[in-house]
Copies of this chain bind each other. A is one copy, B any other.
């Protein structure tokens, strides 16, 4: 199991190797991302980073998010339209189940669904580059 600290180091190493300048602000934002156990949006990330370092601005959060996304370090989601959410991309691929009553996001993975998707795309003459599978449900009770 990878720890937040390990993930943080891994992020920095990766960025450095890519020739990215390691500014104080980027380090803080990356740290916040590495420690996130949820799927925060830009504003939430900004607030968490600001607490650690008041020199972080929202603009830089947005710029850093794009940078990290371009480097494949994080993943962007659009669960609810109008507000992107982010998560580390180092873990295995998974899909999401969103509790429509609480907004809670549950991660899951199904080999069978992955395989079926590839089959369907192949039948239509396509190769899948990425996909989005979100289940919106209500807890049984």
Contact = CB atoms under 8 A, between A and B. Distances in A.
A97 to B, nearest CB: 6
Interface of A is mostly: strand
Interface stretch (A9-17, A39-47, A111-119): A111-119
Give this chain's copy count.
2
A106 interface: yes
A120 B41 CA distance: 26
Interface of A: 76, 78, 81, 84, 97, 99-100, 106, 108, 110, 112-113, 116-117, 120-122, 124-140
29 contacts: A78-B78, A78-B81, A81-B81, A81-B84, A97-B121, A106-B124, A108-B124, A113-B116, A113-B117, A116-B116, A117-B135, A121-B135, A121-B137, A122-B140, A125-B140, A126-B137, A126-B138, A126-B139, A126-B140, A127-B137, A127-B140, A128-B135, A129-B137, A130-B136, A131-B136, A132-B133, A132-B136, A133-B133, A133-B134
